[in-house]
Amino acid sequence: DAKTTQPNSMESNEEEPVHLPCNHSTISGTDYIHWYRQLPSQGPEYVIHGLTSNVNNRMASLAIAEDRKSSTLILHRATLRDAAVYYCILRLNSGGSNYKLTFGKGTLLTVNP
């Protein structure tokens, strides 16, 4: 299975942009990059996903490297409510082991007031 690597923790200040990196050097051409976050005492929630092009939605932006071996989740203006664990996972666009969606330990984001 393709793996992802994320820093264990990052810190940011409120109102500043945050760039959360993810390395996925063994990604294959049909793997989508998904990001989820988990707020304290809650289940994970979907943030964004992409394949090759950069993506924007109301929560965040996803910047994908040209070789697709890394990606960055961008929170444009961090708020205290963005403090969470952020998970980057790969979702294969096919069957078989695609269904075994595995999460790593993610990045714990701390936002300072």
Partner 1 sequence: NAGVTQTPKFQVLKTGQSMTLQCAQDMNHEYMSWYRQDPGMGLRLIHYSVGAGITDQGEVPNGYNVSRSTTEDFPLRLLSAAPSQTSVYFCASSYSAGGDNSPLHFGNGTRLTVT
Sole residue written with tokens 């910047």: 63
Backbone angles phi, psi at 98, to 5 degrees: -50, -35
State which of positions 84-113 bind partner 1 (CB under 8 A).
87, 91-95, 98-106
Q: Mark 1-30 with x for binding to partner 1 (rule: CB under 8 A) and - for no binding.
A: ------------------------------
Residue 64 binding partner 1, by CB under 8 A: no
Rounded to whole angstroms, the Cα distance separating 16 from 4 reads 26
3 state DSSP class of 81: helix
For residues 37, 52, 28, 72, the Cα torsion angle rounded to the nearest 10 degrees is -40
Stretch that binds partner 1, among 16-24, 46-54, 59-67, 68-76 (CB under 8 A): 46-54
Report if residue 43 touches partner 1, rule: CB under 8 A: yes
As measured in angstroms, the least distance from the Cβ of 1 to partner 1 is 10
Task: State yes or no: residue 54 binds partner 1 (CB under 8 A).
Answer: no
Q: What size, in residues, is the chain?
A: 113
